[in-house]
Structure 1
């Protein structure tokens, strides 16, 4: 029995070491400012918050909820990241710059996700039970974005900075705006690629600007149609008058 317990503890230790190595490699692949592994290990609060969440989550699942909550608040104090001990966090999560990130109690985060500073994965205040979002794998959430409520964010989704997402998002989509709107799906622009070609834009689109442009084009088209109908009415009126005079 003693040898089994030692093997179990060694397995957990190796698993945690593997996690640290994976997370450091993730930082190196995502952050162009990353330096050596030692510097990353010592100076990235997003990693510290993720690593601290592991024992906090274990304590929560084993009935020591009060202790887990206190530890999570200490982690919040030192890192600026608040992860509820009950939240389910996948592998290789990268929280860049970290400050101000909040991850709620029933949140589920998949593997290889990236969160930037100021991100909130929270609730709407109107739900019970599962009231926080579920993120698929390889989801990127931009600076200051809010993902709220019991919603599903599909794999490979990108959420633009300061967006507010309150509805499900299909996989391989890009979401921007308040409220969040899908502007790209499976690599194709939802509102049409001609807008980018016209404006020579390479950054994220502005859905409000695009919708305004579409509305103006529709109004201009209606005006042209009205002018054409007025011309036809004038011609018909003149023809009727000519026929009346001939009689």
Structure 2
């Protein structure tokens, strides 16, 4: 554990670092860690007031508050450290990367272990709060703005408030936290609930058709477009809570006898809900009388048509 190792850590974890002189002079996260080593040494020797005074001065100069009682491992790097708070009984392992605004806080008023334990190779995103005497397992990643109140398994990725496991295991690539690739566990749960609700509605509708008196549609009668549009209004986009017809995602419906083609235009063909939409649309349209086959096509032309205009081709 030394200054040279700390400087090498900065170059490894921050591509913005240009020179050794810049790292020594312009990285408050590094300064806070250096001062903490001195204050922690004083704390262990029971010079509590001097230790607290030194950590207080460090907080004023760097914007980073590390209690002198906290234990930090080797090669810990605090990047853009303003607003970081590390409590008295917190323990941080080796090769941990902490971004700005992170809080390793306590949840008890007793003089006990009340702050988290962060194991080796953990990445904690900006603004995240890890609260209580919990353990964040080795190689875990915490998304920006997450509030972690339960222990995190090794290698897992957690996001949200309160934080939930988004991925049970991620490759051990220290320092890389691709927020644009993190799944939304809340959205996944909502889509599963909507899928279950849709299946229950289909069963209920089938039961109603069996017990109610109705005239059978003669073979060859053309399907009505309004019937299909009405069915598609039950397909909800869980991301916004609106149906795909109201959102204008249905470009056209093509009816060819018992075959129906539904053309959708999304804002991106990489939409993570594509398979969910396809399954829901097929199920809903197949519930209509006379439909035998449904094709759902995703068109790559999001801005070349009027979303508010319905178009049906027979």
Partner of 2:201: 223
Aligned equivalents of 1:25, 1:110: Cα separation in 2 = 17
Q: 1:30-77, CA deviations, whole angstroms, 9 ceiling, x for partnerless residues?
A: 112111111111110000000111110110000101100000000001
SS of residue paired to 1:78: helix
Residue 202 of structure 1, CA deviation: 4.9
1:229/1:186 Cα in 2 relative to 1: closer, same or farther (>3 Å)?
same
Tell me the residue number matched to 1:99: 82
Distance 2:162 2:112 in 1: 24
Alpha-carbon distance in structure 1 between the residues aligned to 2:20 and 2:201:
64
Query: Structure 1 residues 215 and 127, CA, compared in 2 at 3 Å: closer, same or farther?
Result: farther
The reply to whether residue 68 of structure 1 matches residue 54 of structure 2 is no
In structure 1, the residue matched to 2:192 is 214
| Secondary structure at the counterpart of residue 183 of structure 1 | strand
Unaligned segments of structure 2, at least 5 residues? 172-178, 214-314
- The alpha-carbon deviation at position 233 of structure 1 amounts to 4.2
Question: How many residues are matched?
Answer: 206
CA–CA separation in structure 1 for the residues paired with 2:86 and 2:3:
21
Give the secondary-structure state (helix, strand or coil) at the position aligned to 1:208: helix
Partner residue in 1 for 2:125: 142
In the TM superposition, what whole-angstrom CA distance separates every residue of 1:101-121 from its partner, at most 9, and x where no partner exists?
Answer: 000000000000011000000
2:20 is aligned with 1:37: yes
| Structure 1 position 227, deviation (Å) | 2.0
How well do the aligned residues superpose, as a CA RMSD in angstroms?
Answer: 1.8
Say which SS state the counterpart of residue 202 (structure 2) adopts. helix
After TM superposition, the score normalised by the length of structure 1 is 0.79
**Alpha-carbon deviation of 1:234?**
5.0
Residue in structure 1 matched with residue 4 of structure 2 by the alignment = 21
**Greater helix share, structure number:** 1
* Counterpart in the other structure of 2:273: none
| Distance in 1 (alpha carbons) for counterparts of 2:166 and 2:87 | 27
Shift of 1:210: 2.1
3-state SS, counterpart of residue 82 of structure 2 = coil
- 1:116-168 Cα deviation digits (max 9, x unpaired): 00000001245540000000000111000000000011000000001000001
Where does the alignment leave 5 or more consecutive residues of structure 1 unmatched? 1-14, 189-200, 236-247
